[in-house]
Amino acid sequence: MDNRRRWLRALIILALAATIFWHRTGAGKINAYEARALAVMGEGSREGRELLQEIAEGRKTGVYHLQAEGDIVPNAGTEKVIGLTVSKDRGLLGVFGTEGNRQVMLACLDTLPLQEVKVVQLEAGQNAVLIRELLDERFGGYFLSSFYALYNWQGNGLQEIWRKIAGNEERWQKKWLEQGEGWQGVSEQVTTDFSRENGRLVIKTISSQTLWSAPEANGPRTNLQSRTIAHTYRWEPAWGAMVMAVGKVNQTTPFKERRGNKYIDVFNLPSGEEVAVLEDEDLLAWLKAGEPSYWRVKTRTGRVGYVLKSHVDLSLPATPR
């Protein structure tokens, strides 16, 4: 029964992803992060969580997993972090603390298949969990992508404080974007450096991106355009995130969330509102002239979404508070 459920889930994900691909219009296309969200949709199985528990307690041996230890949860000593790849498209990350002689699961996250799990220091007395995941969704139009994600303990659980593509290959038929026959794709390779400045974590990335065209999916490629971009992210505890910059909204502007291939207005940010810039969301604007370019931002109330770049005046680098 469990195997049939896993197969059903995989077929649903495949159908959803294929539907999204086939209904692409000039308004946009699915990106790697949306493909990731499709891949990890749904709750983790009880079977996977029980297996994590058995590994944490030493009752299950011979199962390949990734493990790290560190002080993740405030006032709880040292925790054990275990990453487990459950299937081709799914993984689990568990954080365990010790109560007496028992290993207690403090948090569990659905992930993609895991390639790396480690504990990194954000600043003195505060650590985070860094994972690297693999998305392998090759079915004609496909994604083959790896991601970094960084989590620290906020409130009652793990919260994402940074994410970044580590490498990305994706391709699609031009007709899905109403651009004629043949295939297009994006190749992206990212080098990532983790260092420290003034006692805080700093992450520097250099991304090389190429848009290519080909007559067939695996045919000879013609490079259409390329670019290299560098970004720096700094741990800012006042924002609870790795931050590229801090800025102020220069006019009343919609705060947007991305749903499918569209940016949807959620509410208005007033002029003068301060936001932390988390990521440069301009890949689609680079791929297609005329598309708007966005910052992915975090508000003082903790909402994460998108704001037009032209509506934010930046202070670079991010200003500490």
Tens-digit pLDDT profile for residues 180-226: 899 999 999 999 999 999 999 999 999 999 999 999 988 899 999 99
What confidence category does residue 8 fall into, taking pLDDT thresholds of 50, 70 and 90?
Answer: very low
Q: Both tokens of residue 206?
A: 């250099």
Percentage with pLDDT > 70 across the chain: 84
What pLDDT is recorded for position 89? 82
Sheet holding 66-70, edge to edge: 66-70, 79-87, 90-99, 102-111
Q: What is the residue-averaged pLDDT of the chain?
A: 86
From 59-63, 114-118, 187-191, 317-321, the region with the lowest mean pLDDT: 317-321
**What is the mean pLDDT of the segment spanning 278-293?**
88
Tens-digit pLDDT profile for residues 134-161: 998 876 567 899 999 999 999 989 999 9
Rounded to whole angstroms, the Cα distance separating 283 from 117 reads: 28
Residue 217 burial (CB count, 10 A):
14
Tens-digit pLDDT profile for residues 31-81: 777 777 776 665 555 668 899 999 999 988 888 999 999 999 987 689 999
Phi, psi of 244 (to 5 degrees): -80, -40
Percentage with pLDDT > 90 across the chain: 63
**Residue 55 neighbours by CB under 8 Å, 6+ apart:** 63, 65, 82, 84
Q: Residue 45 carries which DSSP code?
A: P
| CA nearest neighbour of 254 among 233, 269, 271 | 269
What pLDDT is recorded for position 172? 87
